[in-house]
Amino acid sequence: MTSARRMLIDANTTPFYHVINRCVRRAFLCGEDKLTGRSYEHRRGWIVDKIKALSAIFCIDICAYAVMNNHYHLVLKIDVEEAITLSPKEVISRWCQITKGHTVATKYMNGEALIDGERMLFDGLITEWHERLSSISWFMRCLNEEIARKANREDECKGAFWEGRFKSQALLDEQALLACMMYVDLNPIRAGIADSLQSSDFTSIQERISALKQVNNIIISPQAPVQSAKNKPQTINQSLAKFDAATHSSQQTGIPFHFADYLELIDWTGRAIRHDKKGFIDNQRPKLLNELGIASDAWLSSAKDFRRQYSGISGRWDAMCAFKLQQGGKWCRGKSSSEALHPNQPLG
């Protein structure tokens, strides 16, 4: 039985989620139709532009993205702290960028007095809109509906464009987040349609590297390990979630790693899984793998098969079981993969 989305996504348990959506009827999200020669590459830009626009409205940050030919991946973070601080006027201003709002909200914004009945209605609307602004379900709804309308209009057809509900995975800890972001960013290399991070079009890692090069005048060669970024300032595109390796987890507001360490790891991983370098593993392990104690073969396996290793949850095995129990289920997949990514967790 399909679980309710409110049970699958719980910001109190974890703010990080991996979401995936795929097209139906063999529709092209992007790419080129070899039968007709028609190109749909411009639709990739639709996705990227829309997720950034929605991220500025919703209290949801984009950690990673990859837009492929007939599906896309996002790693999203619910910004609980930002959501808490929103005032009624901010809630109205943001929500009215998505919908027409309501006359009661318009009166409030214009400084007009509300009668008792209107005040009750207003309070209910603010509560509802406030919750929606930190909802991944509403974020995805706004994204998918617009893309579907534009694609159907362009294809001169009607009907469903997306394959049912989007799929989501809860990322319960740092190892799960790191492995999932790596899996998403390396999609084009793993699929054999790109041979370097810089040529991995419409991915967050390409965008981050481009921004880093522009700010620091760094040249990152596909033939050499990434070393030059380590001692450079790391001002990265503000449309994506920041890397924030604060000492104390309570102080972290973004992705809990240094970007230089992430860049080193993804560069190393990308070389190891490239089709033209099958089986190649550099003997010099990246810093993050050593810090987390993850074996090289376990890490490369997660970079290739993260989506298939788990179902809707990834993290320490005991946390996965607790989250599944909270959903009302009794079984979850990925015990061996979890133990490989969390070598110090208690065995169960």
Contact 196, 270 (CB under 8 A): yes
Residue 320 within a domain: no
275 and 209 housed in the same domain: yes
Average per-residue pLDDT for the chain:
85
Annotate 99-127 with three-state secondary structure: CCCCHHHHHHHCCCCCCHHHHHHHHHHHH
Final residue in a domain of this structure, among 132, 161, 194: 132
How high is the pLDDT of residue 156? 85
Smallest CA-to-CA distance from 144 within 283, 23, 312 is with 23
- Helix, strand or coil, per DSSP, at residue 10: coil
Annotate 151-209 with three-state secondary structure: HHHHHCCCCCCECCCCEEEEECCHHHHHHHHHHHHCHHHHCCCCCCCCCCCCEHHHHHH
183 and 210 housed in the same domain: yes
* 145 or 232, which is more confident: 145
178 and 208 housed in the same domain: yes
Q: What distance in Å separates the CA atoms of residue 127 and residue 146, rounded to the nearest whole number?
A: 25
Smallest CA-to-CA distance from 48 within 69, 29, 67, 22 is with 67
How high is the pLDDT of residue 339? 92
For range 284-307, the mean pLDDT: 90
Residue 217 within a domain: yes
Taking the chain, what is the end-to-end CA distance rounded to the nearest angstrom?
27
188 and 283 housed in the same domain: yes
Q: What distance in Å separates the CA atoms of residue 66 and residue 191, rounded to the nearest whole number?
A: 12
How high is the pLDDT of residue 110? 93
Could you tell me the CATH number of the domain that includes residue 72? Answer: 3.30.70.1290
Residue 66 within a domain: yes
Contact 248, 262 (CB under 8 A): no
37 and 165 housed in the same domain: yes
80 and 105 housed in the same domain: no
Angle at 55 between CA 218 and CA 80, to 5 degrees: 110
Final residue in a domain of this structure, among 73, 105, 132: 132
Residue 7 within a domain: no
- Kindly give the residue spans of alpha helices, DSSP state H, lying in the chain: 5-8, 42-57, 80-85, 88-95, 103-109, 116-132, 136-155, 174-185, 187-190, 204-216, 259-273, 287-292, 296-309, 317-327, 335-341
71 and 93 housed in the same domain: no
**Cβ count near 106 (within 10 Å):** 13
If one counts the domains in the chain, the total is 3
108 and 206 housed in the same domain: no
Residue 208 within a domain: yes
Is residue 4 pLDDT above 70, yes or no? no
283: which DSSP letter?
A: S
147 and 126 housed in the same domain: no
In a 13 Å sphere around the CA of 42, the CA atoms on its Cβ side amount to 5
Q: What distance in Å separates the CA atoms of residue 348 and residue 340, rounded to the nearest whole number?
A: 13
How high is the pLDDT of residue 224? 44
151 and 42 housed in the same domain: yes
Q: CA separation (Å) from 291 to 37, 145, 263, 341?
A: 49, 42, 15, 12
161 and 24 housed in the same domain: yes
CB under 8 Å to 255, separation ≥6 — which residues? 63, 77, 177, 181, 241, 242, 243, 244, 262
Contact 320, 326 (CB under 8 A): no
How high is the pLDDT of residue 133? 96
Contact 172, 180 (CB under 8 A): no
Q: What distance in Å separates the CA atoms of residue 214 and residue 212, rounded to the nearest whole number?
A: 5
Domain of residue 238, residue span: 173-309
Is residue 250 pLDDT above 60, yes or no? no
Cross-strand bridge partners of residue 72: 21, 67
* 275 or 125, which is more confident: 125
For range 226-246, the mean pLDDT: 59
Chain-centre distance for alpha carbon 262: 16
Q: Give the range among 7-11, 26-30, 309-313 with minimum mean pLDDT.
A: 26-30
Residue 330 within a domain: no
% of the chain residues with pLDDT over 90: 54
183 and 119 housed in the same domain: no
CB under 8 Å to 162, separation ≥6 — which residues? 21, 22, 23, 24, 144, 148
How high is the pLDDT of residue 347? 56
Residue 341 within a domain: no
Given pLDDT bands bounded at 50, 70 and 90, which one contains residue 279?
Answer: very low
Residue 223 within a domain: yes
